[in-house]
Amino acid sequence: MIVLSGNTIYLRALEAEDLDFLYTLENDTGVWEISETLAPYSKFVLKQYLANSHLDIYEAKQLRLAISDYQNNLLGFIDLFDFNPKNKRAGVGIIVLEEGNRNKGVGKEALSLLMDYAFKHLDLHQLYANISENNKPSIHLFSNLGFERVGIKKDWNYTSGKFHNEILYQKIHK
């Protein structure tokens, strides 16, 4: 039995075999705005990242999980970052790489599984997400799962010669 399993996808630890997918994702300039990437990643650096991905969330302060379907196709990643056990909070990020896998419930199921894990197993009180005001799919996803818009960071990100606002969403576990 897979602990973090849903109806159509499951979340799993990163594996060495994920290198090519990770390389494609991290070097896709179309997602650099989301990840705030400024330069390409080498396979060497990404191999080192995968080699250290086993570190405990309490030590690394982050956790990246692979989103896979039941045919073992890697669809994307979902992250907890800025893990703060003292204040019982963490940030959340998610990416489904292929356009054809988006808007099919993959993100919703993955985020639901991660929320359940974070609130029940890590005993977190809150999760938050920083989303560009232009990222309508992510705003829709997080809003549908009960994240509330709690603030705007004005002119927060500079992309394509313009400043863009970033919206802070928060989910308090009750």
Q: For residues 76 and 100, which has the higher predicted lDDT (pLDDT)?
A: 76
What pLDDT is attached to residue 1? 43
Could you read off the pLDDT of 118-152 as tens digits, one per residue? Answer: 999 999 999 999 999 999 999 999 999 999 999 99
Q: Is 100 exposed, middle or buried (0-12, 13-18, 19+ CB in 10 A)?
A: exposed
Domains plus CATH for the chain? 9-172 (3.40.630.30)
Tokens describing residue 25: 């994702």
Confirm if 84 and 109 have CB atoms less than 8 A apart.
Answer: no
**Rounded-to-integer distance, Cα 81 and Cα 161, Å:** 28
pLDDT digit string (tens) for 64-88?
999 999 999 999 999 999 999 999 9
**Please, what is the Cα angle at 64 between 32 and 104, to 5 degrees?**
70
pTM: 0.89
